[in-house]
Homo-oligomer: A and B are copies of this chain.
């Protein structure tokens, strides 16, 4: 027995006992509100006894009703329209006992979806517009998010000038804060071990009237009142470590948005930057920018 919760429920409908069938079909029908149910509440709704619910869950391979709910949480459901074959295959192999990689994968996919959902919010559009139009953009990230900020800066630099990585060392800290309030904007990447620096910077930026966007994880509790937009990115998958990948996706989507916003006016610049890079690192090849033309 394997697969998603939905899968298992459907499977067992065929040859289950009366009560089990009742429970299964109720669950399928009300999948969305299952997490709110308790074994008892569900039992009374289906008009079976409490133990029946527990037993049923065990019969389809979960430890308990609670355990089933947990799986639901991580379940990405069946998506026959997606790359499901490979995914399912991976799941199967994993369930056979290799390890719990695929669970992590499911969670990562969930995170990715969340990021794409963010990209549809009004805040998102506002930030994209700002990143395209504000004369100077400053980006920062401390500790482990330092690299993230760097990536974002590198990419954005292809599209526009005056994109700076704010550094403790460099004097651009001051440069940011002394620029006029509608001359600059700030993007802060943060995660987990929130550094005091990020917070201080956000405070100062607010004082200086500089619009600030915070990209962080769900554990961040400061910020909501200090910055203009907070983008919360899931970072916990059940790897030992937190993942920065979703944040990278977010950064990519932002850059993508800016590109669309700026339109084709940037192509010239991109060629130029490409050539610059080439000169300094010696790559010789087509000079049409990283992936221009992939837009479909």
Residues of chain A at the chain B interface (Cβ within 8 Å): 13-14, 18, 21-22, 25-26, 28-33, 35-36, 45-46, 69-70, 72-73, 75-87, 90, 93-94, 98-102, 104-106, 108-110, 112-114, 116-117, 119-120, 142-144, 146-152, 154-155, 192-197, 218-221, 223-225, 232, 236, 238-249, 251-253, 255-256, 259-260, 274, 277-278, 281-285, 290-292, 294-296
Contact = CB atoms under 8 A, between A and B. Distances in A.
B84 A109 contact: no
User: Oligomeric state, in number of copies?
Assistant: 2
B195 A283 contact: yes
A243 B252 contact: yes
Contacts of A241: 155, 252, 255-256, 259, 290-291
Contact of A82 (B109, B117, B193): B109
Contacts of A86: 110, 113-114, 117
Nearest to A79: B84
B119 A240 contact: no
Contacts of A290: 144, 192-193, 241-242
Given A26-B221, A33-B73, A296-B100, A283 B84 contact: no
Contacts of A238: 294-296
Given A105-B112, A274-B193, A290-B241, A154 B150 contact: no
A71 to B, nearest CB: 10
10 smallest CB-CB distances across A and B, nearest first, come from A77-B84, A196-B282, A147-B150, A147-B151, A22-B221, A35-B35, A245-B248, A29-B218, A245-B249, A195-B281
